[in-house]
Amino acid sequence: MAQKRPNTPAPPEPPFWQKNRRELTFLILFAVLLGGSFTLISVNWVNDHVIEPFTGGIARVSGATLDLLGQDVRMQGTIIRGSRFAVNIRNGCNGVEAMLIFLAAVLAFPAPWRARLLGLAIGAVAIQAVNLVRVVALYLTGAYLPSWFDASHTVVWQTVVILFSVMLWILWANRLGAPSEPAPR
């Protein structure tokens, strides 16, 4: 005759925060880094001595690109002016916010530092390349399809640049930043 085993209770399920420690650590660190970086760029000194010169560089590269495309534009600080249209590159149009979102996500993700630094370098260049396309496309839209400029500026291109930075992070996290898993035994 078989003996009955006493019912042993299953071990209690760990609390939510313990089960999801990695994910919660990432989210908290991401939020802190993002909040800190956005706070930093809102400081007048940082804006005046870092962000504005960076934005001027974006404007010069965009103006040079438009000249290569035959647009014959003139630069006035962050303003790109042609015979048909002018665009002023301001905060929010310089790709800095998208780069900060990417930076916070890469730094918060549990990956080797070498992969993080590589991701930051490649990501910054890629985001600025997309932002260059954005500025050039917005100028051309304003010059040749002015009725489409506002929607293109506020809806289409802002969304494209932010989504690009998020998708770039997802690609980085899945391909380059993923920590190596221990080999099965």
Secondary structure of the chain as H, E, C letters: CCCCCCCCCCCCCCCHHHHCHHHHHHHHHHHHHHHHHHHHHHCHHHHHHHHHHHHHHHHHHHHHHHHHCCCCCEEECCEEECCCCEEECCCCCCCHHHHHHHHHHHHHCCCCHHHHHHHHHHHHHHHHHHHHHHHHHHHHHHHHCHHHHHHHHHHHHHHHHHHHHHHHHHHHHHHCCCCCCCCCC
Q: Mind listing the pLDDT tens digit for each residue in 57-102?
A: 999 999 999 999 999 999 999 999 999 999 999 988 999 999 999 9
Any domain includes 130: yes
Say whether pLDDT at 179 is over 60: no
Say whether pLDDT at 185 is over 70: no
pLDDT at 151: 95
* Number of CB atoms found within 10 A of residue 117's CB: 12
Say whether pLDDT at 175 is over 50: yes
Any domain includes 183: no
pLDDT at 178: 59
Say whether pLDDT at 5 is over 70: no
Mean pLDDT of the chain: 90
Say whether pLDDT at 112 is over 80: yes
Given CA atoms 91, 54, 61, 134 in this order, what sign does their dihedral have?
Answer: negative
Which structural domain, as residue segments, surrounds residue 110? 21-175
Any domain includes 16: no
Any domain includes 62: yes
More confident: 181 or 112:
112
How many independent structural domains does the chain possess?
Answer: 1
pLDDT mean over 119-123: 95
Report the alpha-carbon distance of residue 162 to residue 141 in Å, rounded: 20
